[in-house]
């Protein structure tokens, strides 16, 4: 897949707007409080949308679609049980504590609550987590740029191998993000997060609707998928029947308490959007309002994965052409092996040694990286 002219135009406009937003607020940054808290003057709707946008990263956009293709609608629990209860608890109980303490991070808050040693340990753990998660995000962006051949023509013109586009993409996007953050501070980052959220909605909502239309709507999607994949709660009470291996207790404790509470209640890069509110009441409303678009997120990140494996797999295409002299010509276009042996429009994983679709121990074709566990002979979907 390669980018077209309209794709390049959209990307160019997005980067120009993002840089322009960061530079436009630069003159308002006078102190560290302005840089970290924006002077606490931003309206509530910007804080709420920025709160949602800050939580949507590249691994989530790419990974949630893969989870949908692997496990079906049960992947939506990562956007529901793993988020909504924790966001409500954060808004009702924790935000008054964070906001009133005027802490600028979780380590800062723990230092005020306990002592310097606790703050130091928390800061080290938080730094390690931030570097790890940022590395995953940059890796995903680099692989995406490589798959879309974003910098291929540039490297060919310079006589460099195309394989070097991967580290180059990471450096370019990391550098651009650094410039935007240093220039605009928290306000610039929050306004760009609002722009990011709008771009995601504008790009993925039409994709979902067009995908559902091409497959025959919701009824067509359910008819094309196994019953368990088209149902969010089927087997949730039985850990053995649940493809994700989680029962109701596991969902509530694992996703709701451990994942949801650990992420939404302590992640200050996200919480800063609420801390930038003008008063404590607005800060409490931010996560509560942000929970509304968060509940709609499965429709734009999980459903495309289901649609991808439910659509008919492309096979050989026959085109009949009638010439002016009355002759009929049949043109047959044969698709690649990875496309023909894939699942829906998800291509098969190719074995580098043979050049043919890879198969699991049970003889199933492995479809791309999201189905890699099938290559070990497990009973997961092919």
Collect all residues with Cβ–Cβ distance below 8 Å to 196 and sequence separation of at least 6: 53, 56
For residue 203, give its domain range.
5-310
What does the DSSP 8-state code read for residue 10? Answer: H
The pair of structure tokens assigned to 47 is 């804080």
The pair of structure tokens assigned to 245 is 């291996």
50-54, 82-86, 377-381, range with the lowest pLDDT: 377-381
State whether 144 and 32 are in the same domain: yes
Boundary residue ending a domain (287, 310, 333): 310
Q: Would you say residue 381 lies in a domain?
A: no
Collect all residues with Cβ–Cβ distance below 8 Å to 315 and sequence separation of at least 6: 335, 340
CB 79 within 8 A of CB 67: no
Q: Would you say residue 350 lies in a domain?
A: yes
Phi then psi for residue 320, to 5 deg, are -100, 125
β-bridge mates for residue 333, sequence order: 317
State whether 203 and 331 are in the same domain: no
Residue 246 has a pLDDT of: 54
Boundary residue ending a domain (265, 289, 310): 310
Distance CA 124, CA 259 (A): 20
Q: Model confidence over 233-243: pLDDT tens digits? A: 765 555 555 54
State whether 299 and 372 are in the same domain: no
State whether 170 and 264 are in the same domain: yes
Q: Model confidence over 318-369: pLDDT tens digits? A: 666 666 666 676 666 667 777 777 778 777 777 777 777 777 666 666 666 4
Q: Would you say residue 151 lies in a domain?
A: yes
Residue 373 has a pLDDT of: 41
Phi then psi for residue 31, to 5 deg, are -130, 175
State whether 187 and 111 are in the same domain: yes
State whether 114 and 191 are in the same domain: yes
β-bridge mates for residue 190, sequence order: none
State whether 236 and 152 are in the same domain: yes
CATH number at residue 104: 1.20.1730.10
Residues recorded for the chain: 382
Residue 236 has a pLDDT of: 54
Q: Would you say residue 273 lies in a domain?
A: yes
Distance CA 98, CA 109 (A): 7
Q: What integer best gives the mean pLDDT of the chain?
A: 82
pLDDT at 30 over 50: yes
**Can you say how many angstroms the Cα of residue 324 is from the centroid of all Cα atoms in its chain?**
52
**What average pLDDT does range 108-122 have in this prediction?**
90
Taken in order 348, 351, 356, 357, is the CA torsion positive or negative? negative
**How many domains does one find in the chain?**
2
Q: Would you say residue 382 lies in a domain?
A: no
Residue 103 has a pLDDT of: 80
Q: Would you say residue 365 lies in a domain?
A: yes
Residue 381 has a pLDDT of: 38
State whether 56 and 75 are in the same domain: yes
Place of tokens 């495309």: 304
State whether 25 and 154 are in the same domain: yes
Residue 380 has a pLDDT of: 37
Residue 48 has a pLDDT of: 93
State whether 59 and 124 are in the same domain: yes
**Can you say how many angstroms the Cα of residue 95 is from the centroid of all Cα atoms in its chain?**
26
**In this predicted model, which residue has the larger pLDDT, 59 or 117?**
117
When computed from its CA atoms, the radius of gyration of the chain, rounded to whole angstroms, is 24
Q: What predicted TM-score, i.e. pTM, was given to this entire model?
A: 0.80
State whether 240 and 347 are in the same domain: no
Q: Model confidence over 205-255: pLDDT tens digits? A: 998 999 999 888 989 998 888 887 887 776 555 555 554 545 667 777 888
Predicted confidence band of residue 33 (pLDDT cuts 50, 70, 90):
confident
State whether 27 and 88 are in the same domain: yes
What does the DSSP 8-state code read for residue 359? Answer: B
The pair of structure tokens assigned to 382 is 């092919």
Place of tokens 């997060």: 193
Boundary residue ending a domain (310, 340, 368): 310
CB 278 within 8 A of CB 40: yes
β-bridge mates for residue 318, sequence order: 332
């Amino acid at each position: 897949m390669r980018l077209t002219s309209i794709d390049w135009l959209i990307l160019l406009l997005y980067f120009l707007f993002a840089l322009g937003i960061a530079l436009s607020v630069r003159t308002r940054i006078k102190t560290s409080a302005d840089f970290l808290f924006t002077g606490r003057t931003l309206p509530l709707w910007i804080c709420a949308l920025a709160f949602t946008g800050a939580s949507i990263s590249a691994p989530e956009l790419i990974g949630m679609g893969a989870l949908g293709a692997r496990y079906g609608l049960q992947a939506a629990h990562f956007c529901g049980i793993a988020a909504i209860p924790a966001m409500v608890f954060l808004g009702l109980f924790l935000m008054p504590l964070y906001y009133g303490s005027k802490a600028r991070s979780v380590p800062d808050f723990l230092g005020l609550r306990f002592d310097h040693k606790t703050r130091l340990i928390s800061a080290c753990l938080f730094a390690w987590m931030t570097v790890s998660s940022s590395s995953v995000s940059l890796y995903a962006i680099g692989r995406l740029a490589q798959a879309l051949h974003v910098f291929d023509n540039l490297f060919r013109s310079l006589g460099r191998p195309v394989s070097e586009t991967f580290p180059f993409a990471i450096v370019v996007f990391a550098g651009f993000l650094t410039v935007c953050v240093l220039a605009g501070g928290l306000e610039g980052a929050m306004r760009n997060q609002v722009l990011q959220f709008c771009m995601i909605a504008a790009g993925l909502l039409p994709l979902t609707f067009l995908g559902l239309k091409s497959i025959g709507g919701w009824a067509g999607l359910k008819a094309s998928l196994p019953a368990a994949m088209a149902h969010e709660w089927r087997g949730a009470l039985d850990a053995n029947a649940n493809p994700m291996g989680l029962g109701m207790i596991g969902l509530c404790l694992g996703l709701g308490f451990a994942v949801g509470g650990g992420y939404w209640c302590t992640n200050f890069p996200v919480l800063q959007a609420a801390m930038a509110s003008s008063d404590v009441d607005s800060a409490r409303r931010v996560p509560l309002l942000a929970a509304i678009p968060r509940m709609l997120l499965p429709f734009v990140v999980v459903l495309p994965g289901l649609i991808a494996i439910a659509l008919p797999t492309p096979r050989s295409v026959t085109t009949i052409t009638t010439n002016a002299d009355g002759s009929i010509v049949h043109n047959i276009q044969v698709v690649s092996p990875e496309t023909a042996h894939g699942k829906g429009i998800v291509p098969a994983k190719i074995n580098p040694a043979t050049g043919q679709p890879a198969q699991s121990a049970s003889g199933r074709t492995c479809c791309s990286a999201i189905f890699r566990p099938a290559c070990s002979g497990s009973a997961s979907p092919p």
